Chain A
Amino acid sequence: EVQLVESGGGLVQPGRSLRLSCAASGFTFDDYAMHWVRQAPGKGLEWVSGISWNSGSIGYADSVKGRFTISRDNAKNSLYLQMNSLRAEDTALYYCAKDMSDYIWGSYHYWGQGTLVTVSS
Chain B
Amino acid sequence: QSALTQPASVSGSPGQSITISCTGTSSDVGGYNYVSWYQQHPGKAPKLMIYEVSNRPSGVSNRFSGSKSGNTASLTISGLQAEDEADYYCSSYTSSSSLVFGTGTKVTVL
Contacts and interface: CB of A to CB of B under 8 A. Distances in A.
Interface of A: 35, 37, 44-47, 50, 57, 59-63, 95, 100, 104-114
B64 interface: no
Interface residues of B, number: 27
Nearest to B55: A107
B92 interface: yes
Contacts, number: 71
6 contacts: A47-B101, A59-B98, A105-B34, A107-B52, A108-B48, A111-B47
Interface of B: 1, 3, 34, 36, 38, 40, 45-48, 51-52, 57, 87, 89, 91-93, 96-104
Interface of B is mostly: strand
Contact of B99 (A57, A59, A95): A59
